[in-house]
């Protein structure tokens, strides 16, 4: 059996709907989910959020490697907790988890965007490179998102990071076509503005992605 791919969800910034996209993709792909670094959890963790939103009985939610109380950039939250985030250890764990998923891909959620520091010298992008994951970039439609999206795309190309495609969220002016054309990365789907987010609405959006053929486009084999 071939090992299923590892996907790493990142965003063009903070607050673009990365965790919502992760929940819908986890449901659509029947994937396992892992958020290795959680900074701030007074109102719950992203893993707990996904567990409350996923309906399928097969996805596994792996515990965080680092749970940092301070809601800040991971390197600051780690410093505040007197710990050092070890990117090699995270990458090794990711590869171990990917070997145990069977027919399920592994979906890893990052923190913010690719240039968010995990240590004083290392970024989210460095972790993606160490894992060898394919990036799924979440872009939310807002004034300025074309620029922010294309900056992220340019950085990926400069670093040689493999990008599976974009997930677009929200509905402000619908910039998807321009971003796809100018970046050269395909759209994997869009998530409309969702005023009510629950397991039913996540399943509804996941089914739309399945109908669009997302499993085939991401080379998810049965």
Per residue in 111-169, pLDDT tens? 989 999 999 999 999 999 999 999 999 999 999 999 999 999 999 999 999 999 999 99
Average pLDDT, the chain: 94
The domain in which residue 146 lies consists of 6-217
Residue 199 counted as domain residue: yes
Judge whether 10 lies within some domain: yes
Angle 176-183/145-159 helices, nearest 10 degrees? Answer: 20
Q: Does some domain include residue 96?
A: yes
Instruction: Output 15 or 9, whichever has higher pLDDT.
Output: 9
- For residue 81, being part of any structural domain is answered with yes
Please report whether residue 1 resides in a domain.
no
Cβ contacts of 138 within 8 Å, gap of 6 or more: 9, 10, 11, 12, 16, 17, 18, 21, 166, 167, 168, 169
Q: What is the distance of C-alpha 160 from the center of its chain?
A: 18
Q: What is the DSSP string of 13-70?
A: STTSSHHHHHHHHHHHHT-EEE-SEEE--TT--HHHHHHHH---SS--EEPPSEEESS
Residue 13 covered by a domain: yes
Would residue 48 count as lying in a domain? Answer: yes
Q: Provide the domain count of the chain.
A: 1
d(CA 76, CA 12): 20
Mean pLDDT value across residues 61-78: 96
CATH number for the domain including 130? 3.40.50.300
Indicate if the alpha-carbon torsion angle 86, 25, 186, 147 is positive or negative.
Answer: negative
Q: Which two tokens stand for residue 164?
A: 């599976």
Is the confidence at residue 222, as pLDDT, over 80?
no
**Active-site residue among 35, 93, 95, 130?**
35
Tokens 């449901």 belong to residue:
27
Question: Do the domain assignments include residue 222?
Answer: no
User: Does 35 participate in catalysis according to the annotation?
Assistant: yes
What's the DSSP call for residue 147? H
Name the percent of the chain lying above pLDDT 70: 98
Provide the token pair at 39. 């900074």
**How far is Cα of residue 77 from the mean position of the Cα atoms in its chain?**
20
């Amino acid at each position: 059996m071939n090992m299923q791919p590892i996907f790493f969800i990142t965003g063009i910034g903070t607050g673009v709907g990365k965790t919502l996209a992760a929940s819908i993709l986890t449901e659509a792909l029947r994937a396992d989910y892992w958020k290795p670094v959680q900074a701030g959890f007074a109102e719950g963790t992203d893993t707990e959020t996904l567990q409350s939103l996923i309906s399928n009985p097969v996805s596994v939610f792996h515990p965080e490697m680092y749970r940092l109380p301070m809601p800040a950039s991971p390197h600051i939250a780690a410093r505040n907790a007197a710990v050092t985030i070890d990117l090699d250890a995270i990458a090794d764990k990711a590869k171990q988890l990917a070997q145990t998923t069977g027919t399920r891909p592994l979906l890893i959620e990052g923190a913010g965007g690719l240039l968010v520091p995990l240590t004083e010298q290392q970024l989210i992008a460095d972790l993606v490179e160490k894992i060898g994951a394919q990036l799924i970039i979440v872009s939310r439609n807002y004034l300025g998102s074309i620029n922010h999206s294309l900056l992220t795309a340019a950085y990926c190309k400069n670093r040689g990071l493999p990008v599976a495609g974009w997930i677009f969220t929200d509905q402000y002016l619908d910039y998807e076509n321009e971003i796809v054309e100018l970046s050269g990365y395909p759209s994997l789907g869009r998530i409309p503005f969702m005023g009510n987010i629950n397991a039913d609405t996540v399943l509804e959006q996941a089914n739309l992605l399945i109908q669009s053929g997302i499993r085939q486009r991401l080379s998810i084999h049965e």
